[in-house]
Chain A
Amino acid sequence: MKTIILQTASNYLLPVLLLFSVFILLRGHYLPGGGFVGGLVAAIAFVLDAFANGINETKRVLKFHPGYFMPVGLGIAFLSAISPIVLADLPIMTGLWADGSIPVLGTIGSALFFDTGVYLVVIGAALTIIFTISESA
């Protein structure tokens, strides 16, 4: 199903949706949102792109096989979970917070890294499933 309207629209929608997913990711600590929803939105952005331009084109945009997003995301979440043990001798998964806040991002804490890990795992898992199904179909 290659239509010129969808192709043109998806070229603009991909960056906008990705930006929106990052917005949802960052918003997540106190408001509705977070890594899981953000990851789903980002995965949908790539799925839309795959519908419009074909899977091979999307794979070229992604550069890596989506399967590799999962271990990277899990690794980031793992590091954020053990950081209180290593850095502050506090129990596992204790939230560590930096002093002061940064514009746009707000206060940086280990929870943000954990959420980023979840974000990547969700993108990786969702895209791996969808790519595998559409390749075997």
Chain B
Amino acid sequence: MTNHIITLPLLVNLFISIILMFYWRKVRLQKIVSVAGSVLGLAVAILVFIHVYQNGTQTVASGNWSAPFGIVLVGDMLAATLILLTAISALAVSVFSTVAVINARLRFGYFSVFHFLILGLNGAFLTGDIFNLYVWFEIIIISSFVLISIGGEKNQLEGAVKYFTLNFFASMIFLTALGILYGLAGTLNMADLSAKVSQIDNQVLVEVCAILFLVGFGIKSAVFPLYFWLPASYHTPPAAVSAIFSGLLTKVGVYAMIRVFSVIFEMTPFLQTLLMVIAVLTIFSGGVGSLIQNNIRKVFSYLIICHIGFMIGGLAMFTKVAIAGVAFYLIHDIIIKTNLFLIAGLIFRMKASSSMRKIGGIYSNYPKLSLLISIPLFSLIGIPPLSGFWPKISLIIASFELKHYWFFGALIFGSFITLVIIARLWSRVFWKEQPKMDSNPKFNYFYQLSKFDKMRFVLPIVLLTIVTLYIGFGAEHIQEISTRIAEEIVNKDLYINAVLKSS
């Protein structure tokens, strides 16, 4: 019976969104069901995590078709951890959405699509079949298209078109790569592919195929030459939507890269060099791009890109220490980036603007809230003992061991430029005197909200900040989990045996 546990995160979210679709127009009820569903989702995710933590990798052969033929759901440590983090972010964003997204938008089925997005993410983390991964990606991008364009404001649609075009293009490249891979190996199960890909005579074609996967996932995870859609679109939708996008959508691309390049393709020196170059350039261009922005959400958007580079570089080194660093950074980054965009939404509600030139004085108006916000900002920079510091140790150790001094330099550069950007943001938004600004009589400012509404704005940020603090101060536990993930990733036989021998 326990066998079914890893299917539960999928079933819960599907069930919640079906329930929500019945109550299309009843916004109040939708809010209650969505928050309750997210709490249930979190409980299930914790259950899955504990189960996988205690019993090792779990597999379910859906439809009872055994491994190389049917679609297998594989819950290993990486998948279980990501599902848990997804559930935490989903709960925070769901609570935040009940007050930060206007009812006119909620009436178009916002919450139902939101839970479909979470379903898609969980599915992508769980599946052990490369074509099924593509299908989950489709579910994710279709849901995200709806979320990014719901409401239909002019600049929002402009962002949505850019987002749509490039993500669609990425899916096309991913599908092409899949077609070539299936033509070469004749199977789609990732564990089965692993053995067959290395026996193919035409290894050049395999390498071309690997590059196609890299481009497809690279667009989705916003790495160096392919990231332009992200800052062009992430600042347009409501803050709650961009929070879940920034926390999870680019990370699912990173996850797919980790999975594909650890299980299916061998890490050839060429691929490692390519990934390393991409990583260094991503860190550099994301950091510099962020420096010149004025809109808070654009600053954070470029920081996403900058920090994706850390993970890609860790993946390129592909040693146990490096992958442990990547896993730790992934855990830290999902929570912190979701939190950042929620904070951007809160600042917008306080000041009715996201432009750093126009706003200021938050520290004197809201001292306690500023103190709360400072914690995630300091974690983002990586000031010890907060959460951003620990993964960088692993990454720096790995880069020294392998003599990747360029990446070491990029890491230091990335950390310092983040420090500069956040310090600038802090002094401009929090410490600077409020410049003269006409208050908008139609705008519902934060201080005008009822106590219950204020709670719903602040509680998700508190929740995510507590998780961040735990990641920082309980780093020993997180490091243990990351090391286990790294062990499973580096020894791909563990994954292959779990999938192929169980059935």
Query: Which residues on A are within 8 Å of B, measured CB to CB?
Result: 67-68, 70-71, 74-75, 78, 82, 84-85, 89-95
Contacts and interface: CB of A to CB of B under 8 A. Distances in A.
Interface of B: 1, 3-4, 7, 11, 14-15, 18-19, 21-22, 24, 60-64
For chain B, what secondary structure do more than half of its interface residues adopt (helix, strand, loop), or is it mixed? Answer: helix
A68 B22 CA distance: 7
B62 A93 contact: yes
Given A70-B21, A71-B21, A74-B21, A92 B7 contact: yes
A82 B24 CA distance: 25
Nearest to B6: A92
Given A91-B63, A92-B4, A92-B60, A78 B14 contact: yes
A75 B18 contact: yes
B343 to A, nearest CB: 35
Contact of A95 (B14, B61, B63): B63
Given A82-B11, A92-B4, A71 B18 contact: yes
Give the one of A71, A75, A78, A94 with max B CB within 10 A. Answer: A71
A122 to B, nearest CB: 15
Nearest to A71: B21
Contacts, number: 43
Nearest to B11: A82
A84 B60 CA distance: 13
A86 to B, nearest CB: 10
B168 to A, nearest CB: 19
Contacts of A67: 21, 24
B60 A78 contact: no
A67 B4 CA distance: 32
Contacts of A95: 63-64
15 contacts: A68-B22, A71-B22, A74-B14, A74-B18, A78-B14, A82-B11, A84-B64, A85-B7, A91-B60, A91-B64, A92-B11, A92-B63, A94-B62, A94-B63, A94-B64
Given A70-B21, A71-B22, A74-B21, A93 B63 contact: yes
A91 B62 contact: yes
B1 A89 contact: yes
B3 A91 contact: yes
Contacts of B3: 91
Contacts of B14: 74, 78
A91 B21 contact: no
A70 to B, nearest CB: 6
Contacts of A85: 4, 7
A57 B3 CA distance: 51
A72 to B, nearest CB: 8
Contacts of A74: 14, 18, 21
Contacts of A89: 1
Contacts of B62: 91-94
A43 B19 CA distance: 24
Nearest to A75: B18
Contacts of A90: 64
Nearest to B61: A91
Contacts of B11: 78, 82, 92
Contacts of B21: 67, 70-71, 74
Contacts of B63: 91-95
A95 B64 CA distance: 8
A89 B19 CA distance: 25
Contacts of A75: 18
A95 B7 CA distance: 17
A94 to B, nearest CB: 4
Contact of B4 (A70, A71, A91): A91
A77 to B, nearest CB: 9
A78 B4 contact: no
Contacts of B61: 91
Contacts of A91: 3-4, 7, 60-64
Given A78-B11, A91-B60, A94-B62, 4 more contacts: A71-B22, A78-B14, A89-B1, A91-B64
